[in-house]
Amino acid sequence: MLKVALIGFGGVAQAAHLPAYRNLQEQGKARLVAACDIDPQRFTKAMEINIGGAQDGSSMDFHRYSDWEEMLACEEVDMVDVCLPTFLHAQTAVELLKRGYHVLSEKPMALDYEQSMAMVEAANQAKGQLMIGQCLRFASSYTFLKDAIEAGTFGKPLSAVFRRMSEPPIWGWDNWFMDYERSRGCLLDMHIHDIDMIRFLFGEPDAVSCMTQDVYSRDDIAHSRLMYPDLSVLAIGDWSQEGTGFTADYRVAFEKATVVLDGEGVTVYPRGGEAYKPELSEKSFYEAEIEFFMDLVKSGAANVINPPNSAATTVKLIDTLRESARSGGSVRPFKKA
């Protein structure tokens, strides 16, 4: 059973990682031995995060620390799960890889491509593996599209729209989400889920353009176009919608059907046929992601679904979208890393 330590016990740790470890622990696959947070209240109070479901951890038995150096000096662990604010991802992951741990680090990989590549290089030198929590790559509502594209089930994709909208993330430690220098705004933080998924589904775009708006800090709203030879893709990320909770949806039109994700789940609308709902796994995608990484760690197999260099390329694409936004939405060629 893999022994895990978690750094950063805030919103995503409480709402997504903790329930996953509880299930994996019950199945005898993992044990969360320790967690660390500089704010001790995080272990006594559930957070109010836009995706809901946060828990304070009192129902699980693990050691609590306020300093991760001390935690790792005291605990024997195989894997470290980094759920820190984005500006701490690169330096923390690089240090942990140097010390020989397997590292799962939340998305976005880092603040920019340069920092992301430092992580890739550290992983290349390390005995431990690195994976970034691009969790949609493990979400059945999105892998349904991936499988359909690879099998050609509905013919070629013709157009796609992805949206991710939320109230502003004001639960963060020291309000770091609302500080552009530490989060790089919605464009990097939330929009990256759809930008990564678009690359995962359709490959690298030839060119991109993006318009952003500043509401609280910078780039709180992002409208991006990704251009492929016979396919147009639009993605919208917006965390300015106060009081609305969180929604994520898509519409992908293929030659023979349109696939829609909305509040009712995934529905397929075949051309000239009856709409139907495909049967999809109901497992939490955070749990599927963590389980996938643990299997990689145990087997030593290559990561073909979500390797670090692909996560870095997604950050490079976000950097390119930002360049476009800074020049009023000009079309920018995108060159793969």
Ligand X SMILES: NC(=O)c1ccc[n+]([C@@H]2O[C@H](COP(=O)([O-])OP(=O)(O)OC[C@H]3O[C@@H](n4cnc5c(N)ncnc54)[C@H](O)[C@@H]3O)[C@@H](O)[C@H]2O)c1
Positions touching ligand X (CB under 6 A) are: 7-13, 36-39, 42, 47, 49, 68, 83-86, 88, 106-107, 133, 135, 171-173, 176, 189
Nearer to ligand X, 78 or 189 (CB): 189
The CB-of-49 to ligand X minimum distance in angstroms stands at: 6
Nearer to ligand X, 83 or 261 (CB): 83
The CB-of-335 to ligand X minimum distance in angstroms stands at: 26
* The 102-106 sheet, strands edge to edge: 63-65, 30-36, 2-7, 79-82, 102-106, 130-133
Q: Which residue has the tokens 């704010």?
A: 39
Nearer to ligand X, 53 or 265 (CB): 53
Alpha-carbon distance of 269 to 202, in angstroms, equals: 21
User: Residues 2, 29: contact at Cβ < 8 Å?
Assistant: yes
Q: CA nearest 158: which of 255, 224, 251?
A: 255
- Which token pair is 320? 């390119």
The CB-of-136 to ligand X minimum distance in angstroms stands at: 8
Q: Which runs of consecutive H residues, i.e. helices, occur in 126-190? A: 140-151, 180-183, 185-189
Q: CA nearest 179: which of 166, 192, 169, 167?
A: 169
Nearer to ligand X, 50 or 212 (CB): 50
The CB-of-77 to ligand X minimum distance in angstroms stands at: 15
Maximum pairwise Cα distance, the chain: 63
Nearer to ligand X, 209 or 224 (CB): 224
Strands 221-228 and 257-262 come out as: unpaired
The CB-of-30 to ligand X minimum distance in angstroms stands at: 18
The CB-of-137 to ligand X minimum distance in angstroms stands at: 11
User: Residues 332, 207: contact at Cβ < 8 Å?
Assistant: yes
The CB-of-105 to ligand X minimum distance in angstroms stands at: 8
Alpha-carbon distance of 265 to 249, in angstroms, equals: 9
Nearer to ligand X, 170 or 331 (CB): 170
What angle (nearest 5°) sits at the alpha carbon of residue 95, between those of residues 92 and 98? 150
Alpha-carbon distance of 240 to 233, in angstroms, equals: 22
User: Residues 223, 190: contact at Cβ < 8 Å?
Assistant: no
The CB-of-159 to ligand X minimum distance in angstroms stands at: 26
Q: CA nearest 193: which of 153, 240, 247?
A: 247
- Which token pair is 130? 């690195």
- Which token pair is 134? 């691009």
| Other beta carbons less than 10 A from residue 102's beta carbon | 25
Nearer to ligand X, 13 or 30 (CB): 13
The CB-of-135 to ligand X minimum distance in angstroms stands at: 5
- CB-based closest residue to ligand X: 10
Nearer to ligand X, 86 or 115 (CB): 86
Q: Give the type of residue at 73.
A: A
Nearer to ligand X, 176 or 180 (CB): 176
- Which token pair is 251? 């519409």
